[in-house]
Structure 1
Amino acid sequence: MVQKNKTKIYFWIKLDENFFKNLAIKNLRRTVSGGDSLVLIYQQMLLSSLPNNGVIYYEGTLQDVAQEIALNLDEKLDDIKLTIDYFQKAGLLQIGDDGSAEMLQVPMLIGQETNWNKYKREKKLEKFQPTSNQVPTEIDIEKEKEIEIEKEIDTDSLFDNYFQIFSEFTKGTKPQPRIDAMHEFSALLPEQRDKALIGANNYVTWYRNSGNDIKYSKNAAVFLKDMIFFDYQEVPEDKSGYDPELGF
């Protein structure tokens, strides 16, 4: 059976070189007892908020978000409360009406990569380990950049071809969600993108031959999100059992 796992997204904080020069951080470390520990807690909170773009949601399991953070980070509740109180006053954190904590610096510091890019990056690090006596030259680095640019261009070209299949298919009947489709397409592994293009062509061919109303067809984003393209690596021969609500 074909595995339909999608790409995982890994997040990280791009710590600014002036992070420890920030007046709020410097003041906390110099004037508050245990300030260094509170800075560390603040950094842990930044990291834990990454998957939600800077928000630590209050789940309602405990009395407040401070208690939930203390439990999740294995830190003392008093230290968590001190951290929240300090960074609230510093304008770097706020508690929303729903009790969630919003880390206001995160949107400016956040970075992300897919598991495919993570794998490639780790492979590059393995390739240029100091023990191998191989150090990348400027030419090597430029070549790597050129390869990455070419891959990005290839991806954009593939998506344009993919999206055109659906947009032409439903032209004048219903619009296609380009942005959502682009997001889903970018989340696919490289080999899955080729399959998505094949699947789109076969799906549209089959649908046109089926005589079913186009308005019931899957759009370009859902076709990727639900991994439907795996079922259309060949044009289906059997047209029976078609469900207009499902679109296949």
Structure 2
Amino acid sequence: MADNKKYYYIRLKENFFDSDEIKLLESIPNDGYKFSNILLKMYLKSLKYEGRLMFNERIPFNAEMLATVTGHSLGDVTRAIDMFKKFGLIEVLETGEIYMLDIQSFIGKTSTEADRIKAYRKNVEHQKQASVQMYDKRTPEIELEKEIDIETELKPEIKKEPTAYQKIVAVYEKNGFGLVSPIVSEKINDELKDFASESNEDEAVNIITKAMEIAALNSANNFNYVLAITKKWYNKKLFTLKAVEADELKNKSQKASRYGGRRNIVEPQLASVSEPVEEPERELPEWLTDAAKDL
């Protein structure tokens, strides 16, 4: 008897594990390879609902359910979801639904691929703004299931603008700070939030990367040193790169003026050493003159 049922499956591109997101995930000490495994299993679980992690039409997967179906601990799954959000791999709505943002990039080649990806992203944003559960109101087709085929053939990848967090991580690694630990990752996000609330996200990135460059120039490749710099700027209400640079210029000017004043006092004395000065002839006392005549 023929098996007419269709099965869901994925075929990953050969460079899947070479992406920046996967490399950053797997570089996290102790948990990295768990996270990439959890991510793959979440992709698989989302196939049936085209990128939505749903147990059925009405119930979304939560962390506890994902821990059960992926075979990982609740703590690992919770940390993984948090990292996926930071890396821009998933979107979690207030209703609890999880959208796998990259799943549409993996779907097989079609003539309307760009339109499909655009429509999917638009739908996620709409659901996020509305903060309501989305139910598929289309009439289900009897005895027919959708098959998502992730092709292995190479195709142009959609260029994504790196997030503010990813820009900072890139500068962090470029300047020899090492790999980003979960603790450092949390501190980066805290600094981003604090400075962005006072100006904007771009300026927050500029401020933090500037502090890292200063730390690297001083051979202090430690994020606590960076935090000391940003704390000083925050307390001085310097929330833009322009304000920081103006403050540095002011400090340099004050130092130059202070040390310049000292040089004005010392320089005449230095000149008397470097340039010989003829001493005037001194008149001898009268008693010494008379004594000299007697000699």
What TM-score results when the alignment is normalised by the length of structure 1? 0.39
* Larger proportion of strand: 1
Structure showing greater radius of gyration is 2
Compare relative contact order (CA 8 Å, sep 6+) and give the higher one, 1 or 2.
1
